Amino acid sequence: MNKTIRCFFQNGYFLLLTFATGLFYFCFYLVTLTLGIGLSFTVAGIPLLTQVLRTTLTFVQYERIQTKIYTDITTQPYERSRRTEQPLWVQAKEELMDIRNWVAICWLMLKLWIGIFCLLCAALLCLMPLLLMLTPLFFPIFEIHFFGIQIDTFMKSLFIMVIGVVFAFISSWLLKVLVRFIGGYTRHMTKRLNR
């Protein structure tokens, strides 16, 4: 039972982490690519774009580690060779012309939409069962309605609590399925990037 509860909260945490990382990737790449492309007419934009494109390796590796820790899904390593002995402009040209950098950015930015879906699922599948189970504590303080029925007696609140427990078991199974789906997204991303 303890393992089930820990897994339930770990999956909920993973959904919230997916939202946070998806939001970060989207904002980071939107701002830095816009700034880098805008400054590319000057000399400062090209090195900025080069450094931004190099972050894809770090972020994809982070996604692999995060997926392995929370979902126990092993993904292919994503490795690229970096040649630092070349002149800066040659390195910049190689980074800008490497299509895998741009594909990785697209995959990482798309994670925002998965993250928004995960945030909604975390609220529905994690928070809702807990609130339903705590109904006996809250009904004397707050006016609670459940599908149009006012919860004003202790027996009604116990019935809602039982519904919350059943919903927690169902949502625990749904959380496992959703977390496996997100892990599959990371696995698919690394397969595409390694082609």
- Per-residue model confidence as pLDDT tens digits over 5-31: 788 888 888 999 999 999 999 999 999
Of 92-96, 111-115, 125-129, 160-164, the one with minimum mean pLDDT is 92-96
Full DSSP string of 14-72: HHHHHHHHHHHHHHHHHHHHHHHHHTTTSSSHHHHHHHHHHHHHHHHHHHHHHHHHHH-
Domain boundaries, the chain: 2-120+179-193
By CB atoms closer than 10 A (0-12, 13-18, 19+), residue 129 is buried
88 — pLDDT class (breaks 50, 70, 90): low
Q: What residues contact residue 59 under an 8 Å CB cut-off, 6+ apart?
A: 25, 104, 108
Cα–Cα dist 21/75, whole Å: 18
- How much is the pLDDT for 30? 93
Whether the predicted pLDDT of 135 surpasses 90? no
What tokens appear for 33 in the block?
A: 């690519």
The first and second tokens of residue 138, run together, are: 């809250």
For residue 98, how many other CB atoms are within 10 A of its CB?
14
Q: Enter the pTM of the model.
A: 0.82
d(CA 93, CA 98): 8
What is the per-residue pLDDT for 86? 67
Segment 159-190, tens digit of pLDDT: 888 988 898 889 989 998 999 988 888 888 88
